[in-house]
Amino acid sequence: MMCCRCRLKKFLCMKWGAMLMSVKQWSANRAMWGQNLRQIGWIAIIHWLLWLAAIVLPMALAYSQYDPKVGNIPQWYSVYDIANGMEALCAWLVPILAAAGVVRYMHEKRSADFIHSLPIRRTELLAGQMLIGWLFLAVPLVLTALVAIGCLYGLDLPWPIGAGDVGRWLGETLVVETMIFALGVMVGVLVGQSIVHIVLTNIALFFPTGIMVLLFSNLPLWLYGFPDGYYLSGNLMDWALPIRYKMLTDQAMSAGEAGLLLLLSLLFFGVSIWLYERRPTEAAGQALAFSVLRPLFVYGVAFCMCLTGGFYFGQVQRQWGWIIFGYVAFSLIGYAVAQMVVMKTWRVFHKWKGYIAFAAVMSVLFLTVRLDPVGYVRHVPNLSDIEKVYFGQSVMNWQNPNLMEREFEAFDQFLRTKDNIKAVRALHAQLVHDQPLPSRFGNVRPIVIGYVLKDGTRLLRRYEVPIEPYMLYFQRIMGSNEYKQQYYLLLRPSYSPIRQVTIRNVETGRPVVVLADPKEIESFVQALKQDLWNEPVEDIIRGGSTCRGILNCCKATAIRLPFPYLHTAPMFANGCNNSIIGSKYRKGNAQ
């Protein structure tokens, strides 16, 4: 009997103890929420005011200036056009401030000791902080959307946007701000100082894009012919979330992209909780909360600075002595600064052995790339395997060949004749053999050589080529009929008839000759075509001689095409030999 009473008493004590603990936890959570509202509630207010100023205020100003007689309707194609760039700053900076605010207690020793002494599990504590921080972002966005929709339906103006556009803006902005906030919280758990938290969060946002830019920009220094522009001209900037948000004006976020960002946000929230449960309380005030991250941070900063130095001197000086100096000097500065941040003192010179180890590893890495064990630099396709070649100055037309048809002068071309394929391949083989390093002040020309092989494989290289030593190769390729016919729009077979020719003074822009008679136009165009066929390759490379005028050719479809190549000799000479055209030109110029 006594045993049963003891068990009952013990059970009741446990029950009341659990209830008492729950009450204490609820009270502590309520106190935390109240403290957050007092200390960082201003972030939500600032967030709302910024969005009101970015979206609602321009709508109100447009309504106040609207005149039905004039019909001055604002030319907005989406909500992003209203803010005029301000929306990117709001979506980028405010979530970082919110993340810094909700985890600030971890970075101050007194606050950390006090908060962690409360009867709240760390998981519940951080989850509550993340929830209130996210509400500081979501509530102002929803309120702004409601006010904007109210303006659309409440103000009598034929708005060019509707509630659907506001809904799209709300959803995309909420996804982006949630992602940045989640990343900021995770970084905040990893560090122990608020200033380091804000700086590293911004670096983390741009790190994927930044590190790829540095890597691709340094590879041409070590792999001769590496086409860095080909890799940098793709969707690399989409990896930086603030830049991607700015691009939403023209390219809406797909459901898959939004879902991926939300999944990453949940992952960052989960990793933040997992790390927080293992974070030492005494990490408050330290640059990095986990000791294992300190060498990673130091050598990571040194590596990024090393690539920055090589890229800078590679672009400015183009000499190996300066390039090596850039690698060493910038990496040493980065290593020293990172050590100062971690150790919180400038007395870091006794850590020189760590830098020597880093320099040795980087030397081995660079030498391995330079030796090119896979044969990337020396690879030239067999002539029998080539279907067509690409020869030009830009990688953009290699990626988008349809753009070449719109250009009046097509420097970039796909060549298919056997002679041109041989000529381009011969130039490529000679460049691989010589590997010239052009001077910064020399007469150089960027050359992009691409191959489309018969099996569908594509190969691309880019070189900075000094013109004079390789002029014979340029003349063989660019002087061919195939190249010239594709180079000038006027020589292409698909070019439609011209119905009017206007020659303008290059200085004043005033028309000095207008040809509308079909015979005069035909005479002038035929003479001009002959000049184009006879133009020396040297003039094509230099971009032509002194220009006397600007020619606008109006096609049968009434599309005007600028033609700024009426050169002193031999260009324009044949066109002016016709007595009528020449007299018109001389008379117009005299006036």
C-alpha angle with apex 280: 276 to 281, nearest 5 degrees? Answer: 95
Query: Which residue has tokens 């044969």?
Result: 375
Q: Which long-range contacts (CB under 8 A, 24 or more apart) does 516-521 make?
A: 520/578, 520/580, 520/581
Residues listed for the chain: 591
Residue 6 pLDDT: 58
CB 115 within 8 A of CB 126: no
DSSP secondary structure of 116-162:
HTSS--HHHHHHHHHHHHHHHHHHHHHHHHHHHHHHHHHS-S--SS-
Which residue type occupies 54? Answer: A
Three-state secondary-structure class, residue 37: helix
Q: 150-169 burial by CB neighbour count: b if 16+ within 10 A, else e?
A: ebbeeeebebebeeebbebb
d(CA 282, CA 184): 21
d(CA 8, CA 14): 10
Q: Could you count the other beta carbons within 10 Å of the beta carbon of residue 17? A: 10
Residue 561 pLDDT: 44
DSSP secondary structure of 105-117:
GGGSHHHHHHHHT
Tokens of 118: 């409360």
Query: Which residue has tokens 């391995």?
Result: 368
In order along the chain (591 residues), what is the average pLDDT of each group of 10 residues? Answer: 54 45 52 76 94 92 81 83 85 94 89 79 89 95 96 85 92 97 96 93 94 93 90 79 89 92 97 93 87 93 96 86 94 94 86 92 94 93 93 80 57 86 95 82 84 92 91 92 82 71 67 75 79 81 53 47 43 45 49 52
> What sign for the dihedral angle of Cα 242, 247, 249, 253?
negative
Residue 576 pLDDT: 47
Residue 396 pLDDT: 78
Q: Could you count the other beta carbons within 10 Å of the beta carbon of residue 25? A: 16
Residue 3 pLDDT: 59
Residue 68 pLDDT: 77
CB contact set of 423 (below 8 Å; sequence gap of 6+):
473, 476, 477, 480
d(CA 293, CA 204): 15
Q: What is the DSSP letter of 240?
A: S
Tokens of 295: 């060498």
Residue 498 pLDDT: 72
Tokens of 370: 């330079």
Three-state secondary-structure class, residue 288: strand
> CA neighbours within 13 Å on the CB side: how many for 191?
24
Return the CA Rg of the chain: 33
d(CA 339, CA 245): 34
Residue 53 pLDDT: 93
Among 396, 489, 400, smallest CA distance to 446 is for: 396
CB 307 within 8 A of CB 365: no
Which residue type occupies 151? Answer: C
